[in-house]
Each structure stands twice: as structure tokens, then as C-alpha cells.
Structure 1
Amino acid sequence: MKLHLLLLLCALSTLSLQSPTQSPDKCECELSSTHPFPRDKLNNTQKDAADCNNDVTPQKALELESLLLGLERRLPELVEDMSELEREDDGGMYGVLALHVIHNELHEIRLLMDRLNITVTTNRQQTQDTTQQISAIRAELQELETYDTQQVIKRDLINKRLKRDLDQCRTGQRPTDPPTAQELCPHGRFQNVSGPRINTAGEYPGSFKYGAWGRDPKPEEGKESWYWYVPLTASNRYAHYVRLYSSLSSLVVGVSVPGNVLIHSSNPTTNTVQGPNVVLYGGALYYNCYNMDAVCQFNLTSKTVTTLQLPKGTRFNSKSNFCHLDECYPFTDLDLATDESGVWVIYTTNQDHGNLVLSKVEDRPEGLVLGQTWHTSMYKQAVTNTFMACGVLYATRAVNKDTEEIFYSYDTTTGQEQFNIGIYFQKIFPNIYALNYSPVDQMLHAYCESNMVSYKVIFDRHGHV
């Protein structure tokens, strides 16, 4: 029975590639393994581990211990012989013989110390070499573990597809792939980014290196043109208010008519903002709660805070930041994002070995809950920023100080990943500390070293397939 089912699943894995000469009523395919496990690398790692075991043996530790013990015993004997000579020296034959004995003992102790020095030097060098080997082995094992986990997840997704196709085949339906999130996007397919369209130092030029800004995708009535701004005012890590502007021009010239809305009078303290990755949605600010692996929602009208605890093992407090080759951006463990459907949180966990995890944040009558969750195979610290657009997660990386690349995407509808998006855009400043998509005007809002910059997202309205 198991063999029969395996053959059926195998047959379905390339159903869409069946030969046109075959009967359309048959479900046949060719089984292929496109991602074999790197056994050669595992074998090399095992060999390196065995070499370490051969190099570091109990006998070598016993040799050093034996030399130290011998020296420990000989030195008191030498002291005793010297004391006896001082007491019994008769100035004659006894003194000469005693000195000869002491001279021999000193010679043997010197030889013992030479052997000890050589052994210590050898062991010290071997310790350094072994430490480097262990570090390399640990890195290799972590890579192999991540590879295996990623492939298991991918194969699980493929098996789910095969099961679906098998059920459709049994009922006589033709297997079809569901539409992607991009194909369902009302704007069309994400095609490019142009700009920058806006570049302003705002109200506090040169101040507050880290922060975020943007628009509310679901604004309250009368606030459709408002913009928000959250600077990290303490230690490039904390914030305790959101600053509101009635229009873009007000933000550019630095005139905040609504002013600040305080989360708390102190900074930092419980439920204030930690890290630059914040968003505003539906009149509420979403952010990483201070010193917690949790999402906070601050309602700007009621001034109340609701907390959403993230899964056990979520990394926080600058344990898994966005990075590029030169540096990592501190306290960017959690990234909040908005798109046409609402609020998302992007993070990572120990169980996912540092890969990006994406969850929907749902605001229900009973409070905030974590909705559907997706696990990717993209390592978080290989990414500088993420954002959402039409249910697709996009990740960027720094090409150089002048260029950023959108290189990766994860479609939440199909679970498909792409690693070669290849959309480049110009940077005004080398570092982008926060990046968020606004579905109101299809703009990307970036916070770059105290400056607010935005780019226009270009969709291909005829790109539906």
C-alpha cells in the first residue's frame, strides 16, 4: 500500500510536464531530486571532528600533569638538600659531595622545565588550532542543520501540493495551481521602484538617527492626509511618542499641528517603543514592546496599550537584527509592516535557525491575536530590510552605499520563494533603518540616517497571468 501511494505521489510531482502523446486521463511523472543533501560536506565535517579527537587525547593532558607533578616534587627536595648543606657543611669532603648532588638536581630540574615549556607551547598552539577547527565544524553543522530544515519545509510544501493534486486526480479534476498573491493584487504585479520622490530632513535635521515615518493605510475620518513620525529619542533604541503632521507639506517644513501623542511620560519604560520598525494602522501604532518579545498596539485615541506575545523562542533585544556586510542595525529583531490587508510582523525564532518568519497580526474584539504564520528559508541577518505589498513579503540588501536591491520575495498565497527579484533603487544615504510600504499611495517610506525618503512602487496592471 505504501509503495502504491508513493508511486502515485511520484507520478503527480511533474503532472504538468506530462508528454502530449500520453493519455490525458493518466497521472504520470518523472521523479527527480533537485536538492540532494550535501553528504560530502557532512563526511568532511565528520572527518574533521575525528581529527580533533585524535589531536586532543587524555594522554597529552597526562603528560603535562606528570611533568608538573615531577617538578612539584623535585623543588622541595632541592630546598631540603640546600638547607641540609647549610646546616652540615664542614668545609671539606661532605660539602663538595653535597654541592655535586645539588648541581645534578638543578640540571635535572632545568631539563624538566625545558620539557615543560616545550609541552606548554605545543599545547597552547594545539589549543588555538583546535578552537579554530571546532568553530569551523560548528559553522558547518549549523549550515547543514539549516539546509536540512529548509529542505524538510520545502518538501512538506511540495507534499501538500501533491496530496491536493492526488485528490483532484482521483475525483477527475484537472490539477491547477492557485493564483499567486501578486496575481490577486488590485494594482497588478510588483514591477519596479522609482525615485526618490521625497527627501527631507524634516523638523529635526541631523537629529534622531533611527526612526520611522509614513501614512496610516486605514485612517480615521478626516485624517486621510495625515503623516506620522516616530524618532528614537533615547540611545538610538527607544521612543515614547508618535508625532503627527496634518499633511506632507507640514512634515517637510516641520510644522506639527496635532503635535505629539505620548505613549508614556518616561522613556524607556513598560510598553514604550524599542527599535525603529514601527507602523501606524487604523489609528493605532504597532511596534516592538520595550524589552519584550512581543508586539504592542498603542491606540492614539484611547491611549491604551494592547500586547501580543510572540511564540516561544522569538529572538529579541538585538539578538537577530537586519544586517549588511559592514554592520547590523541594532534592535531590529521585530519588523512591523502594513499592506492592503492589514498589519504583519516579521521576526525569527531559535526553532527557525534565524530564518525569517512572517505572521499576520489580527485585531479582534477579544484583543490582538497572531494569525496565520509562514516560515521562510531566508536567513534574517542576510537582509537589510523587509516590507509587505499585496500579501507578498519582500526583502532588501545593500549593494553598496548608493544602491539597494529588492532581491527576495515570499508569496503567502502559494508559499513560493524567489531569490532573484533584481529590483534596484538609489539611496540618498548609505543606511536605511526602516522601510515600509503604504498601500494608500503605493509608496515606499524609508528612514535614512535622520532623513525621510520615499519611493514610488510601480505595478504592471497588465501583468496578471
Structure 2
Amino acid sequence: MSQSNLFVLMIIIHLSFSQSVRGKECVCDLENGDPPFPKNELTKVETTALQCIETITSEKMTDLDRLVLGLQQRIKQVEENVIVLEKENDRNLYGAVTLRIIELEIAEIQDLLHKLNSTTRNYRHLSVQTAAQLEDMKITMVELVKFDKMQVVKKYRESHKKNLEQCKKELKATAAPPTVSSGRCGLGRMVSVAGPRIYSLTVYSTSYTYGAWGRDANPAPGGENKYWLVVLSSSNVYGHFIRQYSTLSTLLLGIGPTDTYISSSNPTTNTIQGPNMVMYGNALYYNCYNTYSVCQFNMTTRSVSTVALPQDTGYNNKFPFAHLGATYTFTDMDFTTDESGVYVIYATTSNFGNVIISKVETINPPVLNQTWSTSLYKRTVTNTFMVCGVLYATRYLDKETEEIFYSYDTKTKEERYDLRIHIKKMQTNIEFLNYDPRDHLLYVYSDAFILTYELIFQ
């Protein structure tokens, strides 16, 4: 039932009765003592309200919030770089380079401010227009309320006010949860990270500090127990083969591996660049060598298919993961898996170096699907992973602790920077991190060691 119909039903028409006797029949004459209900005015209010809803959307408000958050994070990054510059005592050897970087960052801040000012001016005009419409609606509704003879609207308002006050009390009594809910997968809210559950060197010992490992998130029949391992054997940047083991035990012991080569040489066209990669549907997804493209390597046919990201996508160390103490080289693109498939995480100059999420359709050749832009500056992040459509980002706290500090929900487009979920590290750096939806574990490659951590959900 529509609100207009409900409103009409709540109106009690004031009637006066007069009786007369005509022969043996009693006849009642009904006279309406109230003026007719102005239905056209109510329809006009409904139409105006719908126009306001269409004009002021949550997406527009999210865009404004995203610009503000991005500006805050960028200013914070500049402040940190200035502190580093002030501490440098290299007799101006590298000071000029650092100063130039700060100049570029300030220019990007100015671009953000220009965009924010332009958006704010547009919203200010929209606010004035909407305020006038709301005032007209208010005057009309005051007149319409006079037809409410039983004071139903007044009682409803009083009840609604009580509920609002009660809600405020509950909010004050109960602190907001620390993470974005992942309830649509049935997991509940992520509250902590336990472990490590596994902590071991690979068969390569400490020879290769950059690499990746894990399981196929969507394995072919018969491949459910397999584990894969890739080490970047050329300058800690490039790789050209995937090593597979039949079980976790054989991987830890280094027994009976099967090597599948993308190319006989390294590096070359369509070989692996950077440590961020995932296995899904018997195919490896990774950053193609020396391009801004996604590579899909079919493990059975040994064929490579590609799909290009936007032309202004950072690659070759333009927007890598980093922190003040180090840069994780050639990590411009990060590939993640969750319950719904494969995503690629990257940054573009048009989005001011902030993180972008794109869903990868795992057909052959792969196709980019829905894309989300965030306010998270990529160079302030050390890694990302996805759980139930929610992106989580980590940062370096110290040699013993990594922190999950950020989340972006692709369903609600809600961003949060206030997560404080700690990961206990065994080595200083985490070069690779990915979530496996089959066992709810984080698979980590950390300075030549392989580890797993368990995600704890409430």
C-alpha cells in the first residue's frame, strides 16, 4: 500500500446525520462537514520527494567523502616525507630528489583541492535548491496534517522520537565494530588474525626473498590438494615457471615437485613480473612482464591470454606497495581471490595514485568487469586481500607487526581507516599475501619464508 493511500485511509471524514421517515422506511441524509481532501497536493509532495532522492544520491556523497579522505591521506604522506627530508644528512646528495618528490606530491594535492572545490560548489548549489523544495514540502505537509482528525501522525511522530532517543542511547553504550561486516558470505565480522599456523623455509632456503605460494581457489577435479610455489629467481623481480606439489607435506619437504614453464627464458614477453599472483581455475593470474596488462597462464595448455588495464595504470615501480622504510619493488599490481573470484588491485594517475579494484572475469581471454575507485593512496600500503567482496589493506608498523588498517566494501562502497587488526610477523617484510576462500587462511611469503594465518570471524 502506498503512503498516499495509507494517508487517505487514516482520514476520518466528519459526517453529520439527519433522519426522516418516509412511509415505513427510515432514511438518513449524510452531509460531509469537512472540505475535500487535497489529494493533488499530496501527490505533488510525493513527486518532489522522489526528485530529491534521485538528485541527492549516496554515490554523490561517497564521491565527496572519497575526495576528502584522499586529501587527508595525501597530506599525511607529504608530512611524513618532509620529516624524512629534514632528518636526511647526506650533504645534499639525495635531498634534491626527495624535494622534487615532495613538489610533485604537493601538485597532486592542489589537483585534488581543485576537484574538491569544484565538487563542493556544485553540491552547494544543489543544497540551496533542495532546501527550497523541502521548505515548500514542509508548508504543504503542515496543511495536510490538519486533515488528520485522530492525530495519528502526531502519535506516530512521538513514537518515532522515542525510538530515536533509545537508538542514540544504545549507540553510546555499544562501541562501533572495528571492521566492515562480511556477513553476506555467512562468515560474520572479521575480528582478528591468529598464527602463524605454518612457518617454514622453502626448498630454496633463503636464496629468493620474493615469491608467492598457495592453493588454487577454484581447483579442477583432482587438484584440490595441490599447492603451488613461484619464486622470483631473476633480481627478485621476474619469474618464468610455476612449481607444484601434490600435498602440503611434500611442499614443506621439497619432495616430488612438478615444474611448468611459461617460457624458457626469463624475463621475456608474458613472463611474471612482481610477487603478487594467484591461482584460480587451473590458471595463474599475474602482471605481465613490462606492461600494464593482466596475464592468464593456463596450466594445462601452457598458453597465455592477456587483458590490458587503463593506459595510465602504474607499472614498473610507479605505484608499488611501500612504507617509509622500504619499497616492495614491482608490486604495482596485486591479484587477490575471494568467494566470488579474482580481482586485480592497482593505481592510476587519473585517480591520483589511489587504489582501484577491478573484478577479473576468468574466461579465456580474461575480461575486466566492475571497477571501484577508493581514496587509499597505494604507496602507503604494504599489501591487500579480499574477503567476501571487502578489500582489506595492511601497513608496516614495525619488524614484528603488520596491521590491517583499512577496508573498502564493494557492495556498500563504505571505506574505513580505523581498523586495528594486527598480524604477528616472523620476518621483517611481507612480500605476498592472499586469502583462500576454501580454508579461510591467509597465505604469506615473507623474506623467503612461507606462512599461513587464520582469519577469525565473529
Secondary structure in 2 aligned to 1:145? helix
1:196 maps to 2:196? yes
Structure 1 Cα separation of the partners of residues 121 and 256 of structure 2: 52
Q: 1:143 aligns with which of 101, 109, 128?
A: 109
Segments of structure 1 that go 5 or more residues without pairing to the other structure are 15-31, 43-128, 170-179, 461-465
Match of 2:218 in 1: 218
Give 1:147 deviation, angstroms.
Answer: 5.2
- CA offsets per residue over residues 303-355 of structure 1, 9 Å max, x none? 11000111110110111110011110110001011111101000011101100
Secondary structure in 2 aligned to 1:243? strand
1:181 touches 1:414 (CA, 8 Å); kept in 2? no
Give, as a single letter, the amino acid of the residue that structure 2 aligns with 1:329: Y
1:385 maps to 2:351? no
Give 1:12 deviation, angstroms.
Answer: 7.1
Match of 2:230 in 1: 230
Structure 2 Cα separation of the partners of residues 195 and 272 of structure 1: 33
Secondary structure in 2 aligned to 1:292? coil
Structure 2 Cα separation of the partners of residues 139 and 337 of structure 1: 28
Match of 1:413 in 2: 411
Give 1:392 deviation, angstroms.
Answer: 0.6
1:442 maps to 2:440? yes
Match of 1:265 in 2: 264
Taking a change above 3 Å as real, the CA distance of residues 144 and 6 of structure 1, as seen in their structure-2 partners, is farther
2:244 touches 2:259 (CA, 8 Å); kept in 1? yes
Taking a change above 3 Å as real, the CA distance of residues 305 and 148 of structure 1, as seen in their structure-2 partners, is same
- CA offsets per residue over residues 96-142 of structure 1, 9 Å max, x none? xxxxxxxxxxxxxxxxxxxxxxxxxxxxxxxxx99999876654332
Give, as a single letter, the amino acid of the residue that structure 2 aligns with 1:281: Y
Match of 1:123 in 2: none
1:150 touches 1:377 (CA, 8 Å); kept in 2? no
The structure richer in strand per residue is: 2
Give, as a single letter, the amino acid of the residue that structure 2 aligns with 1:438: D
Taking a change above 3 Å as real, the CA distance of residues 135 and 208 of structure 1, as seen in their structure-2 partners, is closer
Taking a change above 3 Å as real, the CA distance of residues 341 and 431 of structure 1, as seen in their structure-2 partners, is same
Match of 1:452 in 2: 450
2:337 touches 2:435 (CA, 8 Å); kept in 1? yes
Match of 2:395 in 1: 397
Give 1:181 deviation, angstroms.
Answer: 6.7
Taking a change above 3 Å as real, the CA distance of residues 10 and 220 of structure 1, as seen in their structure-2 partners, is closer
- CA offsets per residue over residues 189-209 of structure 1, 9 Å max, x none? 222110010001021111111
Q: TM-score, normalised by structure 2?
A: 0.66
Give, as a single letter, the amino acid of the residue that structure 2 aligns with 1:374: W
Structure 2 Cα separation of the partners of residues 369 and 189 of structure 1: 31
Segments of structure 2 that go 5 or more residues without pairing to the other structure are 1-47, 59-64, 76-94, 138-179
Give, as a single letter, the amino acid of the residue that structure 2 aligns with 1:322: F
Q: Give runs of ≥4 in structure 1 deviating > 2 Å.
A: 4-14, 34-38, 129-141, 144-157
Match of 2:322 in 1: 323
Structure 2 Cα separation of the partners of residues 156 and 271 of structure 1: 45
Taking only the aligned residue pairs, the percentage that are identical comes to 45
Secondary structure in 2 aligned to 1:317? coil
Structure 1 Cα separation of the partners of residues 246 and 428 of structure 2: 29
Give, as a single letter, the amino acid of the residue that structure 1 aligns with 2:248: L
Give 1:278 deviation, angstroms.
Answer: 0.8
Structure 2 Cα separation of the partners of residues 385 and 316 of structure 1: 16
The number of aligned residues is 331
Larger Rg over CA atoms: 1
Match of 1:255 in 2: 255
2:70 touches 2:375 (CA, 8 Å); kept in 1? no
Secondary structure in 2 aligned to 1:323? strand
Give 1:242 deviation, angstroms.
Answer: 0.5
Secondary structure in 2 aligned to 1:364? coil
2:181 touches 2:188 (CA, 8 Å); kept in 1? no
Taking a change above 3 Å as real, the CA distance of residues 373 and 253 of structure 1, as seen in their structure-2 partners, is same
Q: TM-score, normalised by structure 1?
A: 0.65
RMSD of equivalent CA atoms: 3.7
Give 1:183 deviation, angstroms.
Answer: 2.4
Match of 2:239 in 1: 239
